[in-house]
Amino acid sequence: MTAAVFRNYIDGRFAEAAATFDSVDPSTGAAWATMPAATAADVDRAVEAAHRALRTGPWASMTATARGKLLVRLGDLVVANADRLAELETRDTGKIIRETRAQIAYVGDYYRYYGGLADKHEGAYVPIDKADMEVTVRPEPIGVVAAVVPWNSQLFLSAVKLGPALAAGCTVVLKASEDGPAPLLAFAELVHDAGFPAGSVNILTGFGQDCGRRLTGHPLVARVAFTGGPSTAREIVRNTAENLAYTTLELGGKSPVVVFADADLDSAANAVVAGIFAASGQSCVAGSRLLVERSVKEAFLDSLKRKAETITIGDPQDPATEMGPLATVRQRERIEAIVAESLAKGGKLVTGGKRPDGGASGFYYAPTIIDAGSPDLPCVREELFGPVLSVLPFDTEAEALTLANDTPFGLASGVFTTNLGKAHRMARGIHAGVVWINTYRAVSPLVPFGGYGLSGLGREGGLDAIRDYTRSKSVWIRTSDEPIPDPFVMR
Ligand code: NAD
């Protein structure tokens, strides 16, 4: 047993776990905390509690305004506790403290946004084409939500699910990733302190096969909100074949960043570096494919190489650190294998491609740039989820667009140009859920987010997200006092 012990939060109580596992600090490789491994029985208890809360008790009878106030209070608590949560996320995932602090402080705004929306999501009065009928449409909570998140940015990825789900009146069982669950299990204390009724929000962690599968396939679950990789997404779709839960999927990416010769190249270089090396590349929107106009390619690569080689790599808890370790040892092994294969198949290493000096025991990997030469190399095709940028040149705008869309993914993209018409044409032509023009990695609770193709189904964020957690009920009222006539004629 390690010094820090975390517990699942089920039916308003922090539950002792029958089974546990160790969580490893990726900057040292040492176990630092004991985590609960939710069993099938724990999952059943959580889903049953969520189902009870949906049907009976204080949550079921709460007004939308009251739910909104709870969400705003939760947002305030997240902000007040951002430093503590950030330290936990950095400890458990290796993500640098600068980034976890800034991101978690912003997570509060997601809860406030959906708190504000809770009583503004209106139904409808239908001007029905029958004189003796009144029809209203009520948006009702869809039911128990199973929310499943991956290890990176767990508080953020949970907020885009919990916020609209709770605003809509659903109840939730949230499964933290088995990698780096500490910040979400600590966040459960804030849910409790905010005053959410027992069973309305349940937070647990455990492994995909026992806990995730049981949860997403549970007969009482009506809605699954998943973020993770495409192969897990396919398993989840299979899990939901029995309960027919309405499912949204936020998956991976191989996002292109297109740099035209007419761009502000220094600014573009900073954005490209941040787009791929922030969070050590473990970001679904990582700009991992650089497409650069051939006439400026060499100069641009020189600039990127200089910037990549001066990134400060080190202890993720040190505010001066710019890049930390990868979250898991298996993540580094996978990246090493794909980089080696890509170099063997003709890719040219511009920088990196190895473990950095120092930090021997942690899961570090140097910022890496590969001049790919061919769009068929594995480093161009596969999502590495690490600090590896693959570079391809292009000569014309049409070729840039073809290369940008040469992927089964379609999550994010960036375009750098000072030509307004070109920016609009590229924005129209790129198959991705997000196009950033002369910027990269901007997000907001007000803006929908999601992918095309293998990057997912559905959108999170923005006004429509709350609609995705409701289903409409049409209520027909006959107003006539006359007896119902001939029953065999449809009206
Ligand atoms: P993953 O798919 O391996 O795991 C995600 C979650 O699914 C974990 O909680 C895991 O325990 C659970 N899981 C695993 N098997 C399951 C099963 N059979 N049934 C139910 N749940 C199961 O993903 P990961 O490796 O932890 O995270 C990286 C992936 O997440 C990358 O592909 C990344 O691009 C993606 N991601 C996407 C977004 C987005 O918003 N589009 C954001 C962040 C990360």
In this prediction, residue 485 carries a pLDDT of 83
Which of 388, 407, 437 is the last residue in one of the domains?
437
- Residue 331 Cα to ligand 1 middle (Å): 13
Q: Which residues are catalytic?
A: 250
Asked if 183 and 73 sit in the same domain, the reply is yes
Kindly state whether residue 324 falls inside one of the protein's structural domains: yes
Mean pLDDT, range 462-472, rounded to an integer: 96
Asked if 214 and 265 sit in the same domain, the reply is no
Kindly state whether residue 160 falls inside one of the protein's structural domains: yes
Query: Rounded CA gap, 381 and 413, in Å?
Result: 15
Please give the structure tokens belonging to residue 257.
Answer: 């960043």
Which one is predicted more confidently, 57 or 253? Answer: 253
Asked if 165 and 195 sit in the same domain, the reply is yes
Answer whether residue 447 shows pLDDT above 90.
yes
Closest atom, ligand 1, to C-alpha of 239? 19
Q: Predicted confidence band at 16 (pLDDT cuts at 50, 70, 90)?
A: confident
- Residue 228 Cα to ligand 1 middle (Å): 2
Q: Predicted confidence band at 491 (pLDDT cuts at 50, 70, 90)?
A: low
Q: Predicted confidence band at 361 (pLDDT cuts at 50, 70, 90)?
A: confident
Query: Rounded CA gap, 417 and 291, in Å?
Result: 12
Closest atom, ligand 1, to C-alpha of 177? 9
Query: Rounded CA gap, 182 and 104, in Å?
Result: 14
Mind listing the pLDDT tens digit for each residue in 204-228? 999 999 899 999 999 999 999 999 9
Asked if 289 and 231 sit in the same domain, the reply is no
Asked if 326 and 470 sit in the same domain, the reply is no
Answer whether residue 430 shows pLDDT above 70.
yes
The DSSP annotation for 150-184 comes to: -STTHHHHHHHHHHHHHHTT-EEEEEE-SSS-HHH
Q: Predicted confidence band at 474 (pLDDT cuts at 50, 70, 90)?
A: very high
In this prediction, residue 1 carries a pLDDT of 65
273 lines ligand 1 (CB under 6 A): no
Asked if 231 and 85 sit in the same domain, the reply is yes
- Residue having the nearest C-alpha atom to atom 11 of ligand 1: 208
Mean pLDDT, range 340-358, rounded to an integer: 95
Mind listing the pLDDT tens digit for each residue in 293-311? 999 999 999 999 999 999 9
The DSSP annotation for 288-316 comes to: -EEEEEHHHHHHHHHHHHHHHHT--B--T
Mind listing the pLDDT tens digit for each residue in 173-197? 999 999 999 999 999 999 999 999 9
Domain count, the chain: 2
- Residue 235 Cα to ligand 1 middle (Å): 11
- Residue having the nearest C-alpha atom to atom 16 of ligand 1: 208
- Residue 98 Cα to ligand 1 middle (Å): 24
Kindly state whether residue 284 falls inside one of the protein's structural domains: yes
Kindly state whether residue 165 falls inside one of the protein's structural domains: yes
383 lines ligand 1 (CB under 6 A): yes
Asked if 286 and 234 sit in the same domain, the reply is no
Q: What is the mean pLDDT of the chain?
A: 96
Asked if 146 and 220 sit in the same domain, the reply is yes
Q: What is the CATH number of the domain that holds 433?
A: 3.40.309.10
Kindly state whether residue 484 falls inside one of the protein's structural domains: no
Answer whether residue 60 shows pLDDT above 90.
yes
Q: What is the CATH number of the domain that holds 52?
A: 3.40.605.10
Kindly state whether residue 289 falls inside one of the protein's structural domains: yes
Asked if 117 and 52 sit in the same domain, the reply is yes
Answer whether residue 486 shows pLDDT above 90.
no
453 lines ligand 1 (CB under 6 A): no
Mean pLDDT, range 102-121, rounded to an integer: 97
Q: Report the percentage of the chain scoring pLDDT > 70.
A: 99
In this prediction, residue 419 carries a pLDDT of 98
- Residue having the nearest C-alpha atom to atom 9 of ligand 1: 177
Mean pLDDT, range 422-448, rounded to an integer: 97
* DSSP state for residue 487 in the 8-state scheme: T
Q: Give the structural domain span for 392.
A: 256-437
Contacts 24+ apart (CB under 8 A), 420-428: 422/260, 422/262, 422/397, 425/397, 426/258, 426/397, 426/400, 426/401
Answer whether residue 42 shows pLDDT above 80.
yes
- Residue having the nearest C-alpha atom to atom 40 of ligand 1: 250
178 lines ligand 1 (CB under 6 A): yes
In this prediction, residue 435 carries a pLDDT of 98
Query: Rounded CA gap, 405 and 397, in Å?
Result: 12
Mean pLDDT, range 351-362, rounded to an integer: 85
- Helix residue ranges per DSSP H, 81-207: 82-93, 97-117, 154-167, 182-194
Closest atom, ligand 1, to C-alpha of 252? 34
In the block, residue with structure tokens 């044409």 = 425
Q: State the DSSP H helix or E strand holding residue 32, giving kind and residue range, or none if neither.
A: strand 30-36
Mutational pocket test of ligand 1: of 99, 103, 148, the residue with most ligand atoms within 8 Å of the beta carbon: 148
Kindly state whether residue 480 falls inside one of the protein's structural domains: no
Asked if 222 and 245 sit in the same domain, the reply is yes
434 lines ligand 1 (CB under 6 A): no
93 lines ligand 1 (CB under 6 A): no
- Residue 107 Cα to ligand 1 middle (Å): 20
- Residue 325 Cα to ligand 1 middle (Å): 19
Query: Rounded CA gap, 330 and 18, in Å?
Result: 27
Kindly state whether residue 442 falls inside one of the protein's structural domains: no
- Residue 441 Cα to ligand 1 middle (Å): 20
Asked if 303 and 419 sit in the same domain, the reply is yes
Please give the structure tokens belonging to residue 471.
Answer: 């289903």
175 lines ligand 1 (CB under 6 A): yes
Q: Predicted confidence band at 359 (pLDDT cuts at 50, 70, 90)?
A: low
Mind listing the pLDDT tens digit for each residue in 249-271? 999 999 999 999 999 999 999 99
Asked if 57 and 177 sit in the same domain, the reply is yes
